Amino acid sequence: MEEHIVIIGNGISGITCARHIRKNSNKRITVISGESTHFFSRTALMYVYMGHMKFEHTQPYENWFWKKNRIELLQQFVTTINSDKKELHFKDGSTINYDKLVIAVGSKPNKFGWPGQDLNGVTGMYHKQDLEKIEKYAPENKTCKRAVIVGGGLIGIELAEMLHSRNIPTTFLVREDSFWNGILPKEESAMINREIRDNHIDLRLGVNLKEIKSDENGNAKSVVIAETGEEIECNLVGLTAGVSPNIDFIKDSGIETGRGVKINRYLETNIPDIYAIGDCAEQHDPIDERRPIEAVWYTGRMMGETLAQTICCNRMEYKPSHWFNSAKFFDIEYQTYGWVWAQPKESEARFYWEHSDGKKCIHINYDKHTHQFIGINTLGIRMRHEFFEKVLTEKKSIEHVLEHLADANFDPEFYKLHEKEILEKFNSENGTMLQLKKKSWKRIFFKV
């Protein structure tokens, strides 16, 4: 009989793993999720609320796909894992056995024990059920006269954009003194502060939530700010102060956990035949400069692909290439390739260029002695992933990157207008005479 692979979690990591196991084998595959029967794109949830798409459109595969590819789907909550018997227990009392188990259970929104955090109308913005709550408590601005968002990261700003799309007045409480400034350098962070305010969000920096107050029916009616004691009336409170691995049910299973499920470079846990991938996995030793837990889409996808190889008898180490990520802050697209820390390290120098409209910039980090390119942030400008993958691998200099901006950019119109200005700024700051190189058409034609 074929080996039975059971995957808990039907997000990007679990589903990628299942698809690649099927590509490479005839094993029996079961994917379990308590959230939804079918895989959907979590990053697209916001667009459902904003009316850009229906929920069905967030599902990248048609419903027939799973049967055709013999991937069994089970909508169940796993409550315990018995690794001695290789058995999972479900909330409804039923069980299932596995030969190999993949834990791909993702994250849950952080709650820090705030008074009132479990009231009606208080929600994270992570699961499909969160979206349903937001729809219920903030359908429009008559039912929801004001919303308050607590926590200024990527999910917080997306929730602000969602509420803005329905003209719901929104207050955004951010603990830091500038948006996401633990990750973004001060210039980018300041640009996003402006973008948030330009979209009529009441952004409050350097403040913490003290408590959420209840009305007589157990609904949130206001929040109180710790520093000032100010009380803000509201009908929806969004808790977006980060996420953590969704692993409470694993704690007594004998599987080693820290903040997440502990794994080695092969994505193996301390128990044979049990693996963990995606947001819930924590590396014993971080890889290069990466964090031990990487709660991002691309990491889940790459881990899913790698683990499928191991499960299909081609044991493979997880070796991610250069760091990259992307997001959107209202109308401003953000991309990052390589490393641009909030603060430069001792051995690093920076080059920053910002467009006069205050909505586009590039920020390059490089070695101040060798001039080796270390990373780039762009806001409002789209770059080519393959270009930066190559220059990082080949350890090219900042000068090389700037001279080849025409190859790097995705948007020819933008560069026609601004590449000269960018280079002139670098030349005047550094006493260099860099010249723009023409786009290498040959390479592009070959790729097509």
Ligand X SMILES: Cc1cc2nc3c(=O)[nH]c(=O)nc-3n(C[C@H](O)[C@H](O)[C@H](O)COP(=O)(O)OP(=O)(O)OC[C@H]3O[C@@H](n4cnc5c(N)ncnc54)[C@H](O)[C@@H]3O)c2cc1C
Pairing of strands 348-354, 361-367: antiparallel
Q: Confirm or reject binding of residue 302 to ligand X (CB under 6 A).
A: no
Residues 260-279 that bind ligand X (CB under 6 A): 278-279
CA 229 to chain CA centroid, Å, is 33
Phi and psi at 23, nearest 5°, equal -60, -35
**DSSP secondary structure of 117-176:** TTSBTEE-SSSHHHHHHHHHH-SSTTT-S-EEEE--SHHHHHHHHHHHHTT--EEEEESS
Please select the residue that binds ligand X; options are 154, 234, 374, 398, rule is CB under 6 A.
Answer: 154
Residue 417 tokens, joined: 């207008």
Please select the residue that binds ligand X; options are 7, 11, 148, 153, rule is CB under 6 A.
Answer: 11
Q: SS3 for 372?
A: strand
The number of beta carbons lying within 10 Å of the beta carbon of residue 132 is 12
**H-helix or E-strand spanning residue 115:** none
Strand order in the sheet with 220-225: 209-214, 220-225, 231-233
Pairing of strands 100-103, 4-8: parallel
Residues 322-351 that bind ligand X (CB under 6 A): 325, 327
Q: Tell me the closest approach of the beta carbon of residue 418 to ligand X, in angstroms.
A: 25
Euclidean distance between the first and the last CA atom of the chain, given in angstroms as a whole number: 44
Pairing of strands 324-329, 332-338: antiparallel
Complex with ligand X: residue 168 or 225, whichever CB lies closer: 168
Please select the residue that binds ligand X; options are 5, 6, 7, 13, rule is CB under 6 A.
Answer: 13
Question: Between the CA of residue 142 and those of 50, 103, 206, 215, 242, what are the distances in Å?
Answer: 17, 42, 30, 18, 29
Q: Tell me the closest approach of the beta carbon of residue 297 to ligand X, in angstroms.
A: 4
Contact flags string 188-227 toward ligand X, x per CB under 6 A: ----------------------------------------
Q: Tell me the closest approach of the beta carbon of residue 224 to ligand X, in angstroms.
A: 26
Q: Are 173 and 150 in contact (CB under 8 A)?
A: yes
Phi-psi region of 86 (alpha: psi -120 to 50; beta: other; left: phi over 0): left
Q: Tell me the closest approach of the beta carbon of residue 161 to ligand X, in angstroms.
A: 10
Complex with ligand X: residue 337 or 351, whichever CB lies closer: 337
Q: Confirm or reject binding of residue 171 to ligand X (CB under 6 A).
A: no
Q: Confirm or reject binding of residue 17 to ligand X (CB under 6 A).
A: no
Residues touching ligand X, count (CB under 6 A): 38
Q: Tell me the closest approach of the beta carbon of residue 295 to ligand X, in angstroms.
A: 5
Complex with ligand X: residue 92 or 394, whichever CB lies closer: 92
Residues 112-131 that bind ligand X (CB under 6 A): 125-127
Q: Confirm or reject binding of residue 30 to ligand X (CB under 6 A).
A: no
Residues 48-87 that bind ligand X (CB under 6 A): 77-78
Which positions touch ligand X (CB under 6 A)? 8-14, 32-35, 42-43, 45-46, 77-78, 104-107, 125-127, 154-155, 158, 246, 249, 278-279, 295-298, 300, 325, 327
